[in-house]
A and B are shown apart, each in its own frame.
Chain A
């Protein structure tokens, strides 16, 4: 039995959504790709998961995934959180697709909070779950007005926000969901990824799709498209950095999370991208807190 038939036999259409809905979402995606960074409204469907679980990303994934795809799901950089496991299981059950935790093996990657450290390729699609798609919302509550501001590229207020950071804190403190200008035109909320990941969005080889379930918006950054982080000439955009590398794999160029190691307040900084960290340790790299079995590279 084909994968699709198997899925049907389990009581769902392939990837849960009916074909008509998927076609509608694909049309929104095509429009989003044609107008990089522009938020395309779509008639989002109710999904059997709560909004906070990334229903926008799930609908986009459902519309683009095929039976031959291999899916990876990341939440906070990890493949094993409840959210990531549920979404992966959802597509295993409804689409019967292969899943993986290895970034390089995946053809579709749905993510919340991170872009993998391993550079993505033209053969991959990165699907972001987006809670708040409108980067102008903090300043302007009226949807009619934000639309007009986008249409006319009236983006002065975006720099007002950065100005306020510098005026009050001496530097730009905004550290995640850091706004980017896509293809020199639309300003876009990159979803709550750390600004550390912003440079990866810029001219990425893979197609980047963004789905906001509650607000029913889809937007995209096509392959090799510019995504510039906003800044000032005298306060250029900077990413987070750490004094020491990953405690487990020694990486000095990956995004680190603080984890508690014991109940006596012990802590260490480790890669948030667990696949990246595992791969490095398997390749023999190690950091100061690595378990004894890890080999150190020559």
Chain B
């Protein structure tokens, strides 16, 4: 037996961090998403692509507890190895996960920030919520994270309302990652930003996610973003997953006709 196959088998033995089974969400009679199943391993970045209205945000919101799905399971493996369905966890435990082990980066940074308190407090809040009670340490961590997202530390005490859109997004990312989450959800993280700042932000996200070894689900309609960040892709159309696989495979050798259209940029905006 050669080394490659041993390594591959080890990877198979490693249980997934998140196993989603048959997830569905309807808005009244309208379909949000349905029959979504996938596994996500620690440290892996999964991209969800598809045109507008294909159900990406619906899926991400179900996964991250922003809305409740109406069918299926979201099986999460806790640090202690215990696997539980996020959907049936009691609310205190769900909220505790969202405060620490999980992180959510909203498309609009204003939805994920407290605009009336300083940048430092925005980052420190998640630490304080987890029980940090040493001001000096909280502030140290906040400044450290500001540097990591390339915001000058002399802006620590400024209100995020004074920041540019790109800075706000970086601040939101710092605030989310400061607790060292094992699982991060991002919805179009570069969506509202100038093309000029998008590339740098993508590099930054890629570097940080890699450093932290966090598993990540990233929604984007931009295949260039997906190619840069994601190890694997799921392609959605009309609320369903039509194709899934390694990023390069899906983008370079698409099988589903819809993916082929998407890749040939006919559908790209």
Contact = CB atoms under 8 A, between A and B. Distances in A.
A234 B120 contact: no
Contact of B135 (A152, A155, A166, A168): A166
A73 to B, nearest CB: 37
Given A152-B91, A154-B99, A167-B139, A160 B134 contact: no
B121 A234 contact: no
B98 to A, nearest CB: 10
A139 B116 CA distance: 9
A156 interface: yes
Contact of A160 (B92, B125, B139, B156): B125
A159 interface: yes
Contact of B133 (A151, A159, A166): A159
A256 B54 CA distance: 66
B124 A160 contact: yes
Contacts of A148: 91
Interface string A129-172: 00000000001000000001001101111011001101110000
B128 A159 contact: yes
B267 interface: no
B125 to A, nearest CB: 5
Nearest to A138: B116
A123 interface: no
Interface string B114-142: 10011011001110111001111011000
B78 interface: no
A233 B134 contact: yes
Interface in B81-97: 91-92, 95-96
Contact of B157 (A156, A168, A234): A168
Nearest to A157: B125
Interface in A95-154: 139, 148, 151-152, 154
B130 to A, nearest CB: 8
Overall SS of chain A's interface: helix
Given A163-B128, A166-B135, A232-B135, A152 B95 contact: yes
A295 B134 CA distance: 49
Interface in A159-194: 159-160, 163-164, 166-168
Given A154-B99, A234-B136, A167 B156 contact: yes
Nearest to B94: A152
B183 to A, nearest CB: 20
A142 B28 CA distance: 26
B158 to A, nearest CB: 10
Interface in B104-122: 114, 117-118, 120-121
Given A163-B135, A232-B135, A156 B114 contact: no
> Interface size bucket, A side?
10 to 19
Residue from B91, B125, B126, B128 with most neighbouring chain A CB atoms (10 Å): B128
Interface in B135-192: 135-136, 138-139, 156-157
A235 interface: yes
B128 A167 contact: no
B250 to A, nearest CB: 40
Interface string A221-241: 000000000001111000000
Contacts of B118: 164, 167-168
Contacts of B114: 139, 160
Contacts of B129: 154-157
A233 B136 CA distance: 9
B125 A156 contact: yes
A148 B99 CA distance: 14
B134 A167 contact: no
B103 to A, nearest CB: 15
A148 B130 CA distance: 17
A234 B132 CA distance: 12
Contacts of B120: 163, 167
B139 to A, nearest CB: 7
A117 to B, nearest CB: 31
Contacts of B128: 156-157, 159-160, 163
Contacts of A157: 125, 128-129
Contacts of A164: 117-118, 121
A258 to B, nearest CB: 31
A152 B136 contact: no
Contacts of A152: 91-92, 95-96
A163 B99 contact: no
B136 A163 contact: no
A166 B99 CA distance: 24
Contacts of B126: 156
A166 B128 CA distance: 14
A155 B130 CA distance: 9
A166 B121 CA distance: 11
Contacts of B130: 156
Given A152-B95, A156-B128, A163 B134 contact: no
Interface of B: 91-92, 95-96, 99, 114, 117-118, 120-121, 124-126, 128-130, 133-136, 138-139, 156-157
List 5 A-B pairs, minimum CB-CB distance, nearest first. Answer: A156-B129, A232-B135, A159-B128, A156-B128, A233-B134
